[in-house]
């Protein structure tokens, strides 16, 4: 991807193989992190828009400005989290020694992202009878997402842990009054939030794994040379 240009320009031929490998690896990491960050920011913006658009006024300029002004820190946070998770997943796969085998293709990743956006869409737009039903449905959908696109125990575990942590963080943020939900039903937040977090973690992990697919072998070589 963007790596081509950076490497073709930046890696002179005469450099030693070891150094260039190191540079490549760090470059790879950086580029992967940057891409994941952008994905996270983009998803955060879009999904945030999805969440707030129920209260849209008629003036597009106002809506845009309100989105970019009210929670400017939200997209970068999501981006950073996405980068971390996306790097964590392949790393953990490697540490555990059970590489992710299931359907590693970009079309599947796209499908996963689409389903994730769909889950968000459902949470924002579909009118449910009560919150329990909404949460249960979303939980089922999230687990279905995991089953369809991940199926690894490590992925599930990491997803659950991060979802719990993120929910906790959101609770704290809301408790401290940084922002609030319109109709909280689970302490201070909406009860479907953990499901969304879980699905997001799975999705970003999928993307991260797919990105890491190219770097996998090289890094492995390197660890052996160490």
Partner 1 sequence: MTVRERLRQNISAAFYRHGLLCASYPVPIILFTSASILTCCYPLLKLPLPGTGPVEFTTGVRDYSTPSHESQGDLSERPDWYRGPPVAYIQQVLVKAAVSPWDNSLVPVDVFRSPLGRVFSVLEEIRNHVYTDRSLEALCLQVTDLLPGLRRMQAVLPEHGCLLVSPGNYWQNRRDLFDADPDLLKTVHQHEPKGLHTSATLKDLLFGVPGKQTGVNLYSKKRVVTYTITIALSSYDARFVASLRARLKQLHPSANCTLREDHMVHVHFKEEIGIAELIPLVTTYIILFAYIYFSTRKIDMVKSKWGLALAAVVTVLSSLLMSVGLCTLFGLTPTLNGGEIFPYLVVVIGLENVLVLTKSVVSTPVDLEVKLRIAQGLSNESWSIMKNMATELCIILIGYFTFVPAIQEFCLFAVVGLVSDFFLQMFFFTTVLSIDIRRMELADLNRRLPAEAGMPPPKPGPLRPRETPPPPRPSPHTITLQAPAFRNLRLPKRLRVVYFLARTRLAQRIIMVGTVIWIGILVYTDPAGLRTFLAAQVSEQSPLGEAGLPPHLGVAPVFPGGDPTSTLSGLPAPEPTPLPENQSQGHRAAHPEVAPVSSPQITWGPEDEELWRRLSFRHWPSLFSYYNITLAKRYISILPVIPVTLHLSPQEAIDTRHPQDTHHAPPPSIKTSDLQTDLTLYKVAALGLFAGVVLVLLLFCLYRVLCPRNYGQNGVPHGRRRRGDLPCDEYGYSPPISEISPLLLRGHSMDIECLASDGMLLASCCLVGHIRVWDAQTGDCLTVIPNNGLRRSSSSGCWEHRDGWDHISACEAENIFPIRRRTTPARPALFGDQPDLTPLIDTNFGLSPPSQALSSSGFDFGGLVEKAYQEHEPSPTLAFPPSPPASQQRRRSLGDQPVLPPELPPQNNGDWDSSVWAMELRGNLIATGRSSGKLELWDAVEGSLRCSNEDGVSGITALAFLNNRIVAARLNGSLDFFTVEITKPLGLLQYRGPPGRGSLPPSPCYSSEDVISCQLTRSVQCAHQKPITVLKAAAGRVVTGSQDHTVRVYRLEDSCCLFTLQGHSGGITAIYIDQTMVLASGGQDGTICVWDVLTGSRVSHVYGHRGDVTSLVCTTSCIISSGLDDLICIWDRSTGIKLYSIQQEVGCGASLGVISESLLVTGGQGCVSFWDLNYGDLLQTVYLGQSSEGQSVRQLLVLDNAAIVCDFGSELSLVYVPSVLEKLD
Residue ranges that bind partner 1, judged by CB under 8 A:
1-4, 7-8, 11, 13, 16-17, 20-21, 24, 28, 42, 45-47, 49-50, 52-53, 56-64, 67, 101-107, 110-111, 113-115, 117-118, 121-122, 125-129, 133, 137, 140, 144, 213-214, 217-218, 220-221, 224-225
DSSP letter string, 131-160: HHHHHHHHHHHHHHHHHHHT--HHHHHHHH
Nearer to partner 1, 24 or 170 (CB): 24
Which residue lies nearer to partner 1 by CB, 59 or 175? 59
Task: Specify the DSSP element, H or E, that contains 70.
Answer: helix 60-70
**Nearest distance from C-beta of residue 103 to partner 1, angstroms:** 6
> Which CB, 9 or 177, lies closer to partner 1?
9
Nearer to partner 1, 61 or 177 (CB): 61
Please, what is the minimum distance in Å from the beta carbon of residue 79 to partner 1? 16
Tell me how far CA of residue 111 lies from CA of 40, 85, 88, 195, 206, in angstroms.
17, 19, 21, 18, 11
Closest to partner 1 by CB, 60 vs 177, is 60
Task: Give the relative orientation of helices 17-52 and 74-96 as an angle to the nearest 10 degrees.
Answer: 130
User: To which residue do tokens 């020694």 refer?
Assistant: 97
Nearest distance, CB of residue 183 and partner 1, angstroms: 18
The answer to whether 198 touches 163, Cβ cutoff 8 Å, is yes
């Amino acid at each position: 991807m963007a790596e081509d240009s950076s490497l073709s320009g930046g890696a002179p031929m005469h450099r030693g193989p070891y150094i260039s490998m190191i540079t490549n690896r760090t470059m790879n990491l950086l580029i992967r992190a940057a891409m994941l960050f952008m994905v996270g920011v983009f998803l955060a913006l879009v999904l945030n828009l999805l969440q707030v658009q129920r209260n849209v006024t008629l003036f597009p300029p106002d809506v845009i400005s309100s989105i970019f002004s009210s929670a400017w820190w939200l997209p970068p946070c999501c981006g950073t989290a996405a980068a971390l998770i996306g790097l964590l997943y392949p790393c953990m796969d490697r540490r555990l020694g059970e590489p992710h085998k299931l359907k590693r293709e970009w079309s599947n990743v796209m499908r996963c992202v689409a389903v994730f956006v769909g889950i968000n869409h459902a949470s924002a737009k579909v009118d449910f009878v009560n919150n329990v039903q909404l949460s249960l449905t979303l939980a089922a959908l999230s687990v279905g997402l995991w089953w369809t696109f991940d199926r690894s125990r490590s992925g599930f575990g990491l997803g659950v842990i991060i979802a719990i942590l993120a929910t906790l963080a959101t609770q704290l943020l809301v408790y401290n009054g940084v922002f609030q939900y319109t109709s909280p039903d689970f302490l201070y937040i909406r009860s479907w939030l953990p499901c969304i977090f879980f699905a997001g973690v799975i999705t970003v992990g999928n993307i991260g794994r797919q990105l890491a697919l190219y770097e996998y072998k090289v890094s492995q070589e390197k660890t052996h040379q160490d």
